[in-house]
Amino acid sequence: MGKTMAEKIFSQHSGEDARAGDLVIARLDFIMGQDGTAPLAINSFNEMGGEKVFDPSRVAFVIDHSAPSPNEGVSSLHKLMREFALKQGILLYDIGHGVCHQLIPEQGHVLPGDLVIGADSHTCTYGALNVFSTGVGSTDLAAGIISGKLWFKVPETIKFLCKGVLPPGVLSKDLILYLIGDIGADGATYLAAEYCGEAISAMDVEERFTIANMAIEMGAKAGLMEFDEKVNKWVAGRAKRPLRPVFADPDAKYVEIRQYDVSQLEPQIACPHTVDNVSPVGQVEGLPIQQAVIGTCTNGRINDLKIAARILAGKKISPGVRLIVAPSSRQVFLEAMNEGIIQILVEAGAAIVTPGCGPCVGTHNGVPSDGEVVLSTANRNFKGRMGNSRASIYLASPATVAASAVAGRIADPRPFFL
């Protein structure tokens, strides 16, 4: 019987013939912690009697969630991380470097065929590079950085086969929102997802990250994609280790194979207060918004900013709307400046904030007021997510958010793509 991508990666990293359901101890290629989780993991590390990190070049801390620090409490946690990083010689990406899930792949730390953990639920993002990467708690993180290993139950796999070509103005974000709405927020719990088919192959790597990023929003443990020439090109020049891509066998066993034709897909919106509460944009069109957000680990990449600039060029955002843009990394920020994208966005009325999580998790950078409606490119719209449980959050693609910021209400972006 053949193997899925997940079974192959766990076999390679455990030295066993790993099959779904098996429990294995597997070697880790890279480990990441951020400022919301690393401080607790440092405590666990000390409690466990940890002295040295197993390999400092394979561990990174990123200060991105509340960066720069908004208060003393956070500052002391940041300090704890800086001191630990300095003492252990691990990588530290301090404020301004960007969001962890953009930085870690961008800096070449995770490569096809790798097994990666991060103390952040959206660690599944790296699946777009053919990496098995998953979110863990702080004890797991501590055990990982001491030993370079972790226990795993090898998951079964569900496959999403996406055929057809996305229509103009309909983006990878619309596709993943649609899939989550279709299968539900716990539709893939315990499972690894494989996203494939010609619609995925046609996307560039940056667009694929958006899909893998939201695998957790359907409950999945990881969201894997095929290794192809585009991935190969993307990692070339960043990779500091050899690649070991894996391919699913044709006779691999799946719990389910779901087929989709994307050619009629419309722009999608996730409505409050769950990510699987998804409708086509037409159903909420016209709803006034007060805040628009372009950024986060889902959609703050250069292609996302380009799409926003294409819509906002020569226009002004509607009076009464605030547009917050958080480039996902310093590199993205610089590239957007060099290409004149930042100029366009700022002229249109955007407020640019430090590369990082931006207002995504409600610690700073744009907490909405009571009763306000926010339209965001983020991945979660739970009640209170942005720091106020009396605000409503809608999720959409960067095209929909930009078009809506101009209109002052939720708008269909497709007229901009004719």
Partner 1 sequence: MLLNGKAFKFGNDINTDYIISGKYKFKTLDMKELARHVMEDLDPHFYEKISEGDMIVAGSNFGCGSSREQAPLAIIYAGVGCVLASSFARIFYRNAINTGLPVIECDTSKIEEGDLLQVNLEKGIVLNKSKNREIPITPLPQVMLKILSDGGLIKHFQKYGDFKFD
Binding site for partner 1 (CB under 8 A): 23, 25, 37, 40, 44, 47-50, 119, 121, 135-140, 142-143, 146-147, 149, 151, 153, 186, 189-190, 219, 221
Q: How buried is residue 320: exposed, middle or buried, by Cβ count under 10 Å (0-12/13-18/19+)?
A: exposed
Nearer to ligand SF4, 123 or 318 (CB): 123
Say which amino acid occupies 199. A
Residue 190: name its binding partner from ligand SF4, partner 1, none (Cβ under 5 to 8 Å by kind). Answer: partner 1
Instruction: Tell the smallest beta-carbon distance from residue 36 to ligand SF4 (Å).
Output: 8
Measured from the CB atom, is 131 or 215 closer to partner 1? Answer: 215
Which run of H or E residues covers position 308?
helix 302-312
Site string for ligand SF4, 375-394 (x = CB under 6 A): ---xx---------------
Interface pick for ligand SF4 out of 58, 78, 122, 208 (rule CB under 6 A): 122
Q: Which stretch binds ligand SF4 (CB under 6 A): 50-58, 219-227, 347-355, 357-365?
A: 357-365
Closest separation between CB of residue 260 and partner 1, Å? 25
Nearer to ligand SF4, 170 or 378 (CB): 378
CB atoms within 10 A of CB 57: 13
Residue 99 interacts with ligand SF4 (CB under 6 A)?
yes
24 vs 222 by CB, closer to ligand SF4 = 222
Residue 171 CB contacts under 8 Å (≥ 6 apart), including other chains: 207, 210, 267, 307, 397, 398, 399
Start-end of H helices in 120-164: 138-147
Query: In this chain, which stretch among 51-59, 128-136, 256-264, 354-362 interacts with ligand SF4, using CB under 6 A?
Result: 354-362
Smallest gap, in angstroms, from Cβ of residue 35 to partner 1? 15
Helix (H, G, I), strand (E, B) or coil at 152: strand
Nearer to ligand SF4, 5 or 278 (CB): 278
**Other beta carbons within 10 Å of 183:** 20
Closest by CA to 312, choosing from 351, 344, 281, 282, is 344
Query: Cβ distance 397 to 173 under 8 Å?
Result: yes
Token pair for residue 392?
Answer: 């409503």
Task: Work out the end-to-end distance of the chain between its first and last CA atoms, rounded to an integer number of angstroms.
Answer: 48
Using the minimum distance from each CB to partner 1, give the nearer residue, 119 or 336: 119
Radius of gyration of the chain (CA): 20
Distance CA 172, CA 224 (A): 15
Q: Tell me how far apart the alpha carbons of residues 404 and 286 are, in angstroms, rounded to a whole number.
A: 9
Q: Which is nearer to ligand SF4, 14 or 328 (CB)?
A: 328
Does the N-terminal peptide bond of residue 13 adopt cis geometry, omega within 30 degrees of 0?
A: no
65 binding partner (options partner 1, ligand SF4, none; Cβ < 5 to 8 Å by kind) = ligand SF4
Tokens found for residue 13: 């990293």
The verdict on 329 binding ligand SF4 (CB under 6 A) reads no
The answer to whether the beta carbons of residues 28 and 119 sit under 8 Å apart is: no
Figure out which of the listed residues 59, 136, 191, 297 binds ligand SF4, where binding follows CB under 6 A: 297
- From the list partner 1, ligand SF4, none, partner contacted by residue 344 (C-beta under 5 to 8 A by kind): none
296 contributes a contact to ligand SF4 by CB under 6 A:
yes
Q: Dig out the tokens for 166 from the structure.
A: 């996305």
Considering beta carbons, is residue 131 or 262 the nearer one to ligand SF4? 131
Reference 323, options 340, 311, 337, 338; nearest CA is 311
Least CB distance to ligand SF4 at residue 326 (A): 8
CB of 221 to partner 1, least distance (A): 6
DSSP assignment, residue 335?
H
Q: Cβ 154 to ligand SF4, closest distance in Å?
A: 26
- Contact predicate 323/349, CB 8 Å: yes
- Does 134 help bind ligand SF4 (rule: CB under 6 A)? no
Q: Which spans of this chain sit near ligand SF4 (rule: CB under 6 A)? A: 65, 99-101, 120, 122, 296-297, 357, 360-361, 378-379
